[in-house]
Structures are given as C-alpha cells and as structure tokens.
Amino acid sequence: MIELVIEPLGNRIPCTYRQTIIDAVRSVGITICATCGGQGTCGHCAVIVIHGDVSTPHISEENTLGLEKIKSGWRLACQTTIQGNVKIYLPPESFSSVHRLQVETAPSPIGYTPGSALSQYGQTRFGSSAIGLAVDLGTTKIAAYLVDIESGKTIDQSGVINPQISYGEDVIARINHTFKEADGAENLQKIVVQALNSLAGELCGRTGKNIRDIEDAVIVGNTAMHHLLIGLSVRSLGLSPYVPTEKKALDIPARQLGLDFSPYANVHFLPNIGGFVGGDHVAMLLGSGMLEKEGVILGLDIGTNTEISLIVNGAHFACSAASGPAFEGAHIRYGLRAISGAIEKIIIHNERVEYKTIDNQPPKGLCGSGILDLVAQMLRSGIIDRKGSMIDSYFDRIRMGKNIEKAFIVVPADQNNGFEITFSRKDVNEIQLAKAAIRTGTSLLLRHAEISEQDITKVVIAGAFGTYLDVQSGMDIGMFPQISKGKFLQVGNAAGTGAKMALLSLERRKRAEELARHVTHVELTKEKNFSSMFARALLFD
C-alpha cells in the first residue's frame, strides 16, 4: 500500500500506484483548486513534493511552473502521479477557499420595500424569527446571505469558492464534464448542494440559528449554474446557439434539491434571460439600481463570464462575454485570487515599481485589480505596445534570453526574500483575451441599439473584481468605453443585493419575470463580424 502524506494537515491517504496527487487528495474530501480542470495550464493545483517517488515533470508543468520552481520541488497535482510513498505540502492558496471573498452588497437596496415575500403570500406558518437565505451562485464563487425575513436585515454573510471549480474553471468545461462522465452532472450537483448546506450551516451556526430554521431561499446564478443545481439538462447550453432548457422563474422545495432547510422551505429561482445570461444578471439589474436610472445605461457584471446589459429608452439588450478567469488570477504565472499578500495596486514610474498588497503582507503574486493596474502601467510606460509586445529593455527589469520567456520583473527576488514575481508576454495575452471579450460584447450591444459609446450616460460595474478595479486602468487598456471617468459607478455584488430583494419581496419577483421577458438576448458568437471585432479588440486602444 502506498501512502500520501499531506502537510500541513497531517492527513495520511492510502493511494494507488500512478494515481495523480489531485485524485488522491480529493478522495478524502479535500478540495484542491483546479481551475483549468486538470489541463496543467492554470497552475492553481501547485503543491510542493517534500520527498518521495513521483513521475518526472510533464512538459505542461515546465510551461506552467517554470524550471526554477520545479527544481525547488513545486509540481502540479493534476499532472504528477504517485509512484511510492510521498509527502507533499499543500499551500493555502491551493485549497478551494480564499481569504477575501467579496460578498459585500450595497448598504441599502435601492427601492427596497420591507415586508417578507412569505407574508405577502399570505402564509402564516412562519414565526416572527423566520430566516431566509439569498445566494449568488457564481461560476467561481458562492456568496450567501442569511436574512431576517421580517425585518429585512442581513444577519450574516459568507462566501466560498464554488467546489465545481475542481472540474473546470468555466461553464463550458463543466458542461463538457457532464458529457464525458456518466455521473458528471450528478457529481456537480452533489458537490454544490454540499457546499450550500455547509455554507448555510456555518452562517446559522455562528449566529445561533439552525439550518432547519431557514424558511425561504432565493438562489441566483448563470444558466449553467442554475441548470446544474436543479438537475436540468445542460446539453443545449453546450452547443451553439446555447439555449437554456428552462427560462421561467421556478419554485422548488428545498428538500427536493437536497438542501437541509425547513421541510416547508421553497427555493425561488429568478428567471433566465437567454444563452448564459441567467437569474444572476436579473438580480444584478434589480440590485444595482440601474433600472431606476435615466438615460443610456451600460451595466457590466464582471466575472469568469461577464454579463453586459445596455438600456436605451426602454429597450434592453443583454449578452454574456466569455472573459475567462484571468482577473481571478488564473492562467497568469504569478496570478492569485484576492488573498493576503496579493498585489492589488501598482504604479510604475521610471525604474520604480510601487505596489500595495492585501493586508500589507510581503508580495506573493498579483490579484485581478493588481493585474489590471500592471498592464495599464506597462502600457503607459511603453513596456508593452498596443499589440501587447514587450520591449527588450526597461532599466534592468526585462528578463529575456535563450529558452527564457520574456517577462517584466514586478518584484525582484532580492527585494522579496528570494521570491521573484514576473509578468510575461503570455500573461499580457491572457488579459488581452479577457478585455477583448468585454469590449466586443459592449460594442455589439451598442451596435444593436444603434448608438455610440459617447451616448452612454452611466456605466454600472458590479462583481467582486469590479469593486476593487481601478476604472482608469480599465479605460487605459481599452476594456471600458472611452468616456468620462465620472460616469462610472462601482456597486459591489449587486447580484447578491438583488437576490436579497427577491427574497424579501414578491413584487420584486414579479418585476424580475417581467424584466426577463422584455430583454433582447444577443448571442455574441452568432453576430456578424464577431471574430474580426474580437481580433481588433485584442489591441490596447
């Protein structure tokens, strides 16, 4: 029998010859980050092999980790197989949990009418201490809010990484998983239900409640997250033209979904709009207040999938752009989620690179807002050109040579206890892809509405990354419309706010249904000139 020891947890796991480290770790219920679904490209499953017999490094490990890291014992858990007794160190950032999951919502929902949906239904079985749960079920993160149904107050809130990330970083990877594995859909459903139960249990536990006290819930997510949780087929979502199986609002008994809430509790799902634009976007529209604004309003909910809405004189267009997880730190060599020690702000001035890290800890890597700042600053300083090509020298900060990937040295090793942080041409390219997706989506909605970006009166930016990003950096790299900075409004997790509003008001639920019916969904990949517009949008201008 071969044994795998996991430090610092101290777990000893029996495993089989040639089993991958990631499979062995998962077999005991430890969720390890695998945002690329085990392709060897994201680097998020990196572990240190302390000692033992393992396979020789795969070419994907050399590409993703680099030879220096491999020499110091780093390996990708998804690529490395166990060939004898092995001891590994699992670093905190490889666990599926994060230090700072942004779940903050707007302080007071706009237009919020106190009074519970339950009492409006005329139901009387709930006591004055009834509690409800609002959930924003994201592709990468799950944010949950425990709410006092009578007063409308949020009792507590918390967030976790969506454990489905172990099966792929984006909706397409997860849908493909259900095509490949007979029990794929069932597994994805099971792990997300477990996560919801444990998140709800944790919230109840720390506020002196019981999970069985949850009398009502609203869960919002994109159409893939919605279908996978409910157990609806995702087949038509995996194939062009990406049509959801179900669009209308649903009420499903919590017990039927496997949720340990009150036996009488229902879960309400807001309606879907079309394609991958789901109830989470409807919730964002409710929660951001953008429906109440006058003029031409552009709304962006930036995530692994970015949903975009454009409202012009009562007409409403929406689309979903596959922006990918680069701003979550995935696919970026030294990318991190927003954990302690992640660089979140950067300024480059001549040879000086000034940065700020989360919790002011020594730098470990770059999170989304830091990555965005870095690219904008590299562009401004002439380190990269509009095509994203990197110059050969910038003081002593460009690393290049035979068999060495050209990269900008963000933090030199001698300033950070021997740990160097770089940003390569390939990393720049990942950001070009993300920004091109968002820009092309915006341009195509403007084309549908037959207006130009100069006609936009307000840009509402929602989502975790959207809360912390620097708008000027977003404009500098051409991700956002080139309009006055004063027109931008960052609103936090508006989808969470919208879910809470729907939990508390039947009127809001009805409004959501009406809203979803009147939105024109634009499927980007079917749009004329989509490819050429996307290629053009890769440029930084």
- First and final C-alpha spacing in the chain: 58
What's the closest the beta carbon of residue 416 comes to ligand FES, in angstroms? Answer: 24
Closest residue to ligand FES in the complex (CB): 78
Query: Is 40 one of the binding residues for ligand FES (CB under 6 A)?
Result: yes
CA nearest to 159, candidates 500, 460, 496, 465: 496
Query: Is 478 one of the binding residues for ligand FES (CB under 6 A)?
Result: no
Site for ligand FES in 77-106 (CB under 6 A): 78
What's the closest the beta carbon of residue 34 comes to ligand FES, in angstroms? Answer: 3
What's the closest the beta carbon of residue 45 comes to ligand FES, in angstroms? Answer: 4
Sheet with 398-401, side-by-side order of all strands: 398-401, 404-411, 421-424
Residues 333, 63: Cα–Cα separation, whole Å: 10
DSSP β-bridge partners for residue 320: 307
Closest CB to ligand FES among 45 and 229? Answer: 45
Q: What is the DSSP letter of 139?
A: S
Query: Is 329 one of the binding residues for ligand FES (CB under 6 A)?
Result: no
What's the closest the beta carbon of residue 22 comes to ligand FES, in angstroms? Answer: 7
What's the closest the beta carbon of residue 93 comes to ligand FES, in angstroms? Answer: 13
Query: Is 44 one of the binding residues for ligand FES (CB under 6 A)?
Result: yes
Residues 1, 200: Cα–Cα separation, whole Å: 38
Query: Is 163 one of the binding residues for ligand FES (CB under 6 A)?
Result: no
What's the closest the beta carbon of residue 92 comes to ligand FES, in angstroms? Answer: 16
CA nearest to 463, candidates 140, 111, 98, 152: 140
Q: Are 324 and 170 in contact (CB under 8 A)?
A: yes
Query: Is 34 one of the binding residues for ligand FES (CB under 6 A)?
Result: yes
Q: Are strands 297-301 and 458-462 parallel, antiparallel or unpaired?
A: parallel
Q: Find the binder of ligand FES among 2, 15, 45, 237 (CB under 6 A).
A: 45
Closest CB to ligand FES among 35 and 309? Answer: 35
Cβ partners under 8 Å of residue 71, min gap 6: none
Query: Is 36 one of the binding residues for ligand FES (CB under 6 A)?
Result: yes
Query: Is 466 one of the binding residues for ligand FES (CB under 6 A)?
Result: no
Closest CB to ligand FES among 25 and 230? Answer: 25
Span of 1-9, 33-41, 189-197, 501-509 interacting with ligand FES by CB under 6 A: 33-41
CA nearest to 328, candidates 192, 464, 491, 221: 464
Query: Is 42 one of the binding residues for ligand FES (CB under 6 A)?
Result: yes
Span of 28-36, 100-108, 131-139, 432-440 interacting with ligand FES by CB under 6 A: 28-36
Q: Are strands 250-253 and 266-269 parallel, antiparallel or unpaired?
A: antiparallel
What's the closest the beta carbon of residue 186 comes to ligand FES, in angstroms? Answer: 22
Q: Are 170 and 41 in contact (CB under 8 A)?
A: no
Q: What stretches of 313-463 adopt beta strand conformation (E)?
A: 315-321, 342-349, 352-357, 365-366, 398-401, 404-411, 421-424, 458-462
Residue ranges binding ligand FES (CB under 6 A): 34-36, 38-45, 64, 76, 78
